[in-house]
Amino acid sequence: MKVCIAEKPSVAREIAQVLGANTKHDGYFEGNGYAVTYTFGHLCTLFEPNDYKPHWKSWDLNNLPMLPEKFKTKVVDNEGIQKQFNIVKGLFDKAELVINCGDAGQEGELIQRWVMNQANYTGEVKRLWISSLTTEAIKEGFTKLRPSEDYDHLYYAGFSRAIGDWLLGMNATRLYTVKHGGYKQMLSVGRVQTPTLAMVVNRFKEIEDFKPQPYWELQTLYRETVFSYEEGRFLKMEEGEAVAAMVKEHEFEIVSINKKKGKEYAPKLFDLTGLQVYCNTKFGFSADETLKIVQKLYEQKAVTYPRVDTTFLPNDVYPKVGEILGNLTQYAELCAPLLNKKIKKSSKVFNDKKVTDHHAIIPTGVEINMNPAQKQVYDSIVRRFIAVFYEDCEVSNTTVIGKVTTINFKTTGREILKKGWRIVFETPDSKGKKESGVLPSFVKGEKGPHEPSFMEKQTKPPKQFTEATLLRAMETAGKQVDDDEMRELMKENGIGRPSTRANIIETLFRRKYIKRNKKQVLPTPTGIQLIDTIQNELLKSAELTGMWEKQLKDIEKGEFSAGTFINNMKRMVDQLVYEVRSETKRANISHSTTVQKSENKKTTKKKKGIEDVSCPKCKEGKLLKGSSAYGCSGYKNGCDFLLPFDFHGKTISENQFLRLLTKGCTVNLKGFKPNDGEEVEGLVRFDEQFKLVLEPKVVAAPVNQTPICPKCKKGDIVKGKSAYGCSDFRNGCDFRCSFDEIKVKANGKPLTKALVLEILKGAK
């Protein structure tokens, strides 16, 4: 019997269907000479410290460093996992051949190798290596099974990574927790998470410490076009003013017009980091959310394997491109122009040297039902794929030089001559928009009046990280790289792997080392304190961590020894323990104390009173409290501003007066009796003379809170467990608007009742 082992039950089911193993048993499928079983991710894990030595269970500085001679694995201590492991082991005992069908990557290889080793399986092993879960891909993969030995270096790299993370994580976390942790505070330190946190903290401090420097810019407006002083900014105001004064006296003359045609290439296909960056920027998805969505699309056969770090395709994918495009029926209008001629093949897309185990993320051509978030991610992948086969976008770049006497000014413009691949990304809104950056038609030697301006500006600090920019920083080990080609070259020295970066960021959120402020990623006081406490630069250095990642990649290629990597990590941990144990100061870091300190700061802040507010009328005096009203301290100079305590028979509180002074009106208040008449509700404002006026509350006409179904126009919209539907569904109305769809259409706005009603009215 041949035993196939996949990483998830859902993947095992797909493989079983292709192989004809249609009989379902507890924990596996059987038939046609095959048994197809599965893991639930990691069935096995590395030993805990106390599994090596019982006294290592205690978190004690005297037990550090913990450096096992040989690293061992065990089955995860979970009843369901242990049951599945025993089923797998039983199948292995009967197997003539085991086919490793784990995810085609380092982690997938490690998961299944640990299971085989733990089950003491010593027979023949073959490897299934596929990039998508379509029936065709699985069938083709089974015709090209390779010996397991071909992937030994991949396994060594995965095992080395796990050991490195254990050595540094277990030792450094205990070391800093015992030495510097406060009450019940565990200080988690890791090979990748700590330099990532350090990048966030360093950026935050750089912005906090930033001192803006003034500079001056000289520009002039000629024929509705802004020209800038060619030599750039002025650092001394006097120098700039002298040039500006000279420019004012003379006419502007066009000296040269240089037009140069150029090409803009389509955006590269997505790797995982690129997709996460794009979806965070465009849709606000976190890196973890994007990973989960694209992983689900892969398991549903819609896209290829997502945990990749290349933006290229191998040459053997080219013959399949036409078939994939032909199957994208929802994009038939965009694909049709490509299918009517020979499909373009570019080295910017197809390059065997840039592809190792997997290629860029592309659609498979299999179309499925998707929720709104999945549609957004899928649409992004598909449009990138279609765009790379379109013609390049042709542009005309224009540089115009003008002068006033001998002083040169420059402006640049850009005009799209042929849209090419840009058509793929056009929306109904963008089609009619006037193109920006097109210059007027200038003639060399023309002269005319102009309007110079001399402006003071200030240098700006770098921006706080977002998840998108943090992912890019992890990819390039903290270096600021905007060029795509350079980024490709630096990927080998990035920190973390594409598949784990999202989890690293989520771990930092979960441990309260970083927090979200809208799109910004900011460090918490605990995170800042931890990085300040760690004196060892190696632990915090993104660049050095990137070098470790490069060594792990070299192990994978067979160019570096796994034993050397592990011994180097052991030496580093030993040195780290010695250094930290020798430190004389104790930081006493605790999340609860840092939170308490910040709360204390908030409570000790003096509350602003009405007598701290400037007079809104004369803008010079301060408000004073009298016997029956607040008045202005500038009354001796003629300011007659007054705020009477009683207005239309109602006493107004100091808080409401403060609101009036800061926001322009009070809230709606009850109890006003204008002209001793009936009681009125309303808000108080100032008139033009800063006298109080009452604005009665406007009572809105009653609104039907239950809108009519926009599809059948008969039933009412009703709320279900996961969607809104029509009350007339029994008569055939299939109107449905899911909660996810409403969130997408809200586009980040708070889901108020009014907004939901507005979205439902526009749904079909």
The residue type found at 418 is K
**Is 34 a catalytic site residue?**
no
Catalytic entry in 156, 278, 298, 305: 305
Comparing CA positions, the residue from 559, 549, 542, 539 lying closest to residue 497 is 549
Q: Are 467 and 453 in contact (CB under 8 A)?
A: no
Q: Are 128 and 145 in contact (CB under 8 A)?
A: yes
d(CA 83, CA 81): 5
Q: Are 630 and 624 in contact (CB under 8 A)?
A: yes
User: Residue 397 has which token pair?
Assistant: 């770049």
Q: Phi/psi class of residue 214: alpha, beta or left (left: φ > 0; alpha: ψ in -120 to 50)?
A: beta
Helices (H) and strands (E) in the chain, counts: 25, 29
d(CA 474, CA 471): 5
- The b-or-e profile of 187-198 (16+ CB within 10 A means b, else e) is bbbbbbbbbbbb
Cβ of 233: how many Cβ atoms within 10 Å? 13
d(CA 204, CA 539): 19
Comparing CA positions, the residue from 556, 654, 675, 666 lying closest to residue 607 is 654
With H, G, I as helix, E, B as strand and everything else as coil, classify residue 252: strand
Comparing CA positions, the residue from 721, 705, 689 lying closest to residue 756 is 705
Cβ of 154: how many Cβ atoms within 10 Å? 24
d(CA 573, CA 551): 17
The residue type found at 132 is S
User: Residue 571: beta bridge partners?
Assistant: none
Using only C-alpha atoms, what is the Rg of the chain? 34
Q: Are 309 and 549 in contact (CB under 8 A)?
A: no
Distance of CA 71 to the CA centre of its chain: 35
Cis peptide before 65 (omega within 30 of 0): yes
List of residues 6+ apart from 584 with CB closer than 8 A? none
Q: How many CA atoms lie within 13 A of 104 on its CB side?
A: 23
Comparing CA positions, the residue from 203, 191, 208, 187 lying closest to residue 472 is 203
- The b-or-e profile of 681-710 (16+ CB within 10 A means b, else e) is ebbbebeeebebebeeeeeeeeeeeebbbe
- What separation in angstroms does the CA of 79 have from each of 43, 73, 146, 171? 11, 17, 34, 29
Q: Which residue has the tokens 């060399």?
A: 444
- What separation in angstroms does the CA of 328 have from each of 25, 137, 683? 36, 17, 59
DSSP 100-148: EES-SSHHHHHHHHHHHHHTT--SEEEE---S--SHHHHHHHHHT-EEG
Q: How many CA atoms lie within 13 A of 371 on its CB side?
A: 13
User: Residue 736: beta bridge partners?
Assistant: 725
d(CA 428, CA 379): 16
User: Residue 433 has which token pair?
Assistant: 């928009």
Kindly list the catalytic residues: 305
